[in-house]
Amino acid sequence: MSFYDDEPELAGYEPHNRPLRSHRVVVMMRVVVVLALVALVVPGILVTWGVAASTASNTCASNSAYYKPDSIAGRAAFEIMGPGGFGWQCYWIDGSEGAHFLMPLGIIPAAPVLPGTPLRQI
């Protein structure tokens, strides 16, 4: 019993030593795959960053208005080595346009929960 008797679709097959695709085609396929992966990943990263920046800005504005009523505004910044550690930091701005650290917001900022306000049940 031979190997080809078990698999009739391989009858007459003779392997060859040259590659199935040329080097140019292989490089082009790799470039297309990398571009497709970038096109899938980059928009997700940009949307996530935009949502986090918007949430941090709104949270910082409400926290600075609550904890420092004399502040002009609040400013959120993402810092690697900030006073509150890695992540979003909230600063309040006084009348002389000086920014003072208020609180860390974390890596993924959340909506503010101010003292004395009831939590919303979902």
Q: 1-16 pLDDT, tens per residue?
A: 555 456 777 777 777 7
* Domain-embedded: residue 113: no
* Cα atoms in the Cβ-side hemisphere of radius 13 Å centred on 107: 2
Predicted local distance difference test score (pLDDT) of residue 79: 94
Which structural domain range is residue 33 located in? 18-106
What value does the mean pLDDT take over residues 39-66? 94
> Strands (DSSP E) along 2-120, which ranges?
73-82, 85-93, 99-106
Write down the mean pLDDT value for the chain. 86
Predicted pLDDT at 20: 82
d(CA 8, CA 6): 6
- Domain total in the chain: 1
The answer to whether residue 58 sits within a structural domain is: yes
Is 72 inside any structural domain? yes
Q: What pTM value is reported for the model?
A: 0.71
The Cα-based distances of 68 to 60, 82, 83, 101 in angstroms read: 11, 20, 18, 11
Higher pLDDT, 39 or 19: 39
In this structure, what token pair is assigned to residue 44?
A: 């997700």
